A and B are shown apart, each in its own frame.
Chain A
């Protein structure tokens, strides 16, 4: 059994508003899967539906082959959850907080204490284990939340906005931990509105827009499907019409003029030598040229812009 999470035509309505509107999602074992989209696009609702913490209006959910509504305890035993803006009991120490949830998971105190020590070590919080959580920074709290998932030995970890509100260094540390977990074979589903930040660690992503999945697939596939390329070359040149000059060039999938003298070239490979050659051949003056990978943000904006235009038409 390789499908870990499967939803079919999942709908959740709050009154007339459909927070999740016909969701078909499949996550395979061992994947790092990203639910991406702006705030209010249905990511958190989807996660709550997966955990059985809220009931779907219609449609079905299967997590590890189980129905989270019918078999919530088994699902929650095998799935770890790191909520958005995670909270702890501030008057208790980190260890006490973990012990409480470990006891709720059904671990004996002895077993729980060994696992807590291991988990704290993994998330590098051993030194702070006996401090009250009220003294913890945002990043420490998130890592403590991750420790909770570790203690549970979850097969699937669902992380809701794990990096929101973190400084760049904490973000990097947390992302590294997540990648490590993924390498150990834990299936990871994470949601984020910071598309670019997570595109590096996700195998596959789903882009959410108003309760629906607009796009789903591997990051490179998405960028080439929507923008026609995985690389963006910005070219600053004078005395040349780049659009005409690049006509028929290999690897080039699109040319747009951003302002006079500045072009954006989408390509599915590093096409800089070819561009340079053609600019010079056409008699233009090449000033600068820079290349970068296409970001998911661009994909998102492009895709849903088109969507909006379609909706308006």
Chain B
């Protein structure tokens, strides 16, 4: 195969900006973002009500804003874990097959750009939209906190908040990549949307039920061997961590609850002399989530590569 000439990045910025602009003005994204904003504001408002009723002293009041749940509303973080995938799916499910259906694909690809630029540009454009939405959401929450609690956040809280922002961004990126893969595989946007939603439902609702079942079947409990219980729990965690939702949950737990010392099982002897409830410094919390973050980025890259390979091999004729 002769090597092709010219940069694969020609036109990348044009495609990315056009995609971002399209999404910013599309009714679909307006609706989804409205949903996210309303739930987020509701959750934070409820959390503020809850926090202002507690009188005990707390070093990380601002982080509580994100993690405190007040019945019947879940916390802001739980909402994001649930809704971010939906935002990403709404952005990405018709990225490629939509171009075929509008019959714009051959016209765009007959311009002097490579296919790489189209796929990568679309991905970057959607990521840009997600980043903007998350940033706006984050600033809104902090602003509400300052206004309603009357306290400025500490430097460490800001840093942890930023780490949380990064984690949410990568999490949404993984779901965007899932949606892009399906949008290259299926020619009908309805099918790709349903397929992505199926994966999302599987990981959001069924995976937490499935992982103990599978672990129980693979490593049965032996009442005379206590280690089997440990193995089972470890296996169950390993299976659960295939789901990006689990990884996101663990990351937010470690970042937003500085007291978290471990994301696996901890034995009593490992806790000897530990000051229970003492917060970890942020560097240690980041060490704790590093594997999760690395896994998510890896998943994102693998999924994007999948979409890339499938798109490169596609016939352009509609």
Contact = CB atoms under 8 A, between A and B. Distances in A.
Interface residues of A, number: 34
Contacts of B315: 54
A77 interface: yes
A100 B18 contact: yes
Given A73-B6, A104-B112, A81 B14 contact: no
**Range, interface on chain B:** 20 to 34
B107 A83 contact: yes
B312 to A, nearest CB: 11
B11 interface: yes
A260 to B, nearest CB: 49
Contacts of B10: 73, 106
A76 B6 CA distance: 12
B198 to A, nearest CB: 28
A67 B6 CA distance: 13
Contact of B14 (A86, A90, A103): A103
Contact of A106 (B18, B107, B110, B112): B112
Nearest to B118: A104
Contacts of A101: 107-108, 111
Interface string A162-194: 000000000000000000000000000000000
A48 B105 CA distance: 12
B11 A70 contact: no
A85 B152 CA distance: 59
B31 to A, nearest CB: 15
A199 to B, nearest CB: 26
Contact of A145 (B18, B22, B107, B113): B107
Contacts of A9: none
Contact of B4 (A54, A71, A81): A71
Contact of A76 (B104, B105, B112, B318): B112
Interface of B: 2-6, 10-11, 14-15, 18, 22, 25-26, 102-114, 315-318
Q: Which 9 A-B pairs have the closest CB atoms?
A: A87-B103, A73-B6, A81-B110, A104-B111, A77-B112, A83-B106, A76-B112, A73-B112, A103-B14
21 contacts: A45-B317, A53-B106, A53-B109, A69-B4, A70-B2, A71-B6, A73-B5, A73-B10, A73-B112, A74-B5, A76-B113, A81-B107, A81-B110, A83-B106, A83-B110, A85-B318, A90-B102, A101-B111, A104-B14, A104-B112, A105-B112
Interface of A: 44-45, 48, 51, 53-54, 67, 69-74, 76-77, 79-81, 83, 85-91, 100-101, 103-106, 145, 148
